[in-house]
Amino acid sequence: MKRFSQIGLISLLLAGALGGVGCKHNPKNITALPGSEPPKGGTEFTTTQPFQPTTGVQPTGVDRSSKPITPSNTFRPVENPNGIDRTVDPLAGAGAGATAPVNTDTNRPQPEGDIRAHTTENREMFAGNTVHFDFDKSAVKKGAETTKVIAVAEYMKLHTEAKLEIEGHCDERGTEGYNLALGERRALSVREILLNSGVSADKVTTVSFGEARPVDPGHDESAWMKNRRAEFILLMPDAGTVR
């Protein structure tokens, strides 16, 4: 009798434990960008020019071979005529595994979380929809600016295969660190409107250029107002042919 009750108690505890596991639910990310779980594994590559160490303590053997830096002798054009290979990211998520790298030799890292992977960008499609911002603001202005975003949202809902990258840009004023964050915030507030309009969250990513890509290199308000912007880059999946 005593033994039976013991067994009953154990089975009750066991059931409770299993039930607890089964009831566990994942917290929902509301506006997080996709790819929050990074792929495991990592790759390394080597740059063409290893650093030449110089001796620091005693003034002997200091390397003076390096020439002063000027664009003419240091800048080298990118070999790829398109500048950047946007089809595959061999480094996506590299080194981001929380666990020990056990199976790193079996598979190269899969850029599964990378929205840009295996897509071709189209910068012209939404060139007229570029959103402009007030000075030091990241909120999309009501009226004409919001309407441009809604128009992009309508396209995205009709073309479910399409993905989108939103570039955030700033004018040259402000510190670099600040502008980087401000550009990202601009891109993210545009993204927020898209998501609220029904565009799927796993189709839209963001990038901040800070002040690095002005449309107008001028140093006055007419240039600055053009440069405070968010641009839409349409990403179409590669179908056999790559441009």
Partner 1 sequence: MILSPTSRRRWLLASAAALVHCHLAAQPDPSTINISDKVAGFVPIALSGFTGEVDQTLRFDLEVAGFSLVPPAQARFELNGKNNGQIECTLTDAGKHTLFARAYPGGTPRAQAHALADDVVQAAIPGQKGIAKTKIVFKLDTGHRNDHNDAVSEVCLADYDGANPFQVTQDGTIVRSPAWMPGHRTLFYSSFRLGRACIYSHDLATGARAAVASFNGMNDGAAISPDGTRIAMVLSKGGSPDIWVANVDGSGLRQLTTTREDDSSPCWSPDGRTICFSSRAEGATRLYLVDAAGGAMRPLNTGGIRGATEPDWSPDGKSIAFTQMSGRENFRIYVVPAAGGEAQYISDGEDPTWAPNSRTLAVVRRKGGLRRLSLLDVFTRRVKDSASFSGSCSQPSWAR
Choices 2-10, 19-27, 107-115, 148-156; region in contact with partner 1 by CB under 8 A: 107-115
Minimum distance of partner 1 from residue 132's CB (angstroms): 17
DSSP reduced 3-state for 121: strand
Residues 237 and 24: their CA atoms lie apart, in Å, by 36
Toward partner 1, which CB reaches closer, 103 or 147? 103
Minimum distance of partner 1 from residue 154's CB (angstroms): 23
Residue pair 133/228 in contact by the 8 Å Cβ criterion: yes
Q: Does 27 bind partner 1 (CB under 8 A)?
A: no
Toward partner 1, which CB reaches closer, 26 or 47? 47
Angle at which helix 144-158 crosses helix 176-196, to 10 degrees, equals: 60
**Cα atoms in the 13 Å half-sphere on the side-chain side of 184:** 8
Residues 169 and 179: their CA atoms lie apart, in Å, by 8
Q: Does 116 bind partner 1 (CB under 8 A)?
A: yes
Choices 10-18, 132-140, 141-149, 154-162; region in contact with partner 1 by CB under 8 A: 132-140
Distance separating the N- and C-terminal Cα atoms of the chain: 78
Residues 183 and 31: their CA atoms lie apart, in Å, by 17
Q: Does 208 bind partner 1 (CB under 8 A)?
A: yes
Site for partner 1 in 218-237 (CB under 8 A): 219
Site for partner 1 in 166-195 (CB under 8 A): 173-178, 180-182, 184-185, 188
Q: Which two tokens stand for residue 43?
A: 């790759």
Q: Does 86 bind partner 1 (CB under 8 A)?
A: yes
Place of tokens 């061999």: 90
How would you class 122 by CB atoms within 10 Å of its CB: exposed for 0-12, middle for 13-18, buried for 19 or more? Answer: middle
Among 20, 22, 71, 143, the residue binding partner 1 under the rule CB under 8 A is: 71
Q: Does 41 bind partner 1 (CB under 8 A)?
A: no
Choices 5-13, 91-99, 144-152, 154-162; region in contact with partner 1 by CB under 8 A: 91-99
Q: Does 143 bind partner 1 (CB under 8 A)?
A: no
Residues 67 and 52: their CA atoms lie apart, in Å, by 13
Q: Does 22 bind partner 1 (CB under 8 A)?
A: no
Minimum distance of partner 1 from residue 145's CB (angstroms): 20
Residues 146 and 142: their CA atoms lie apart, in Å, by 5
Toward partner 1, which CB reaches closer, 109 or 131? 109
Among 95, 103, 160, 237, the residue binding partner 1 under the rule CB under 8 A is: 95
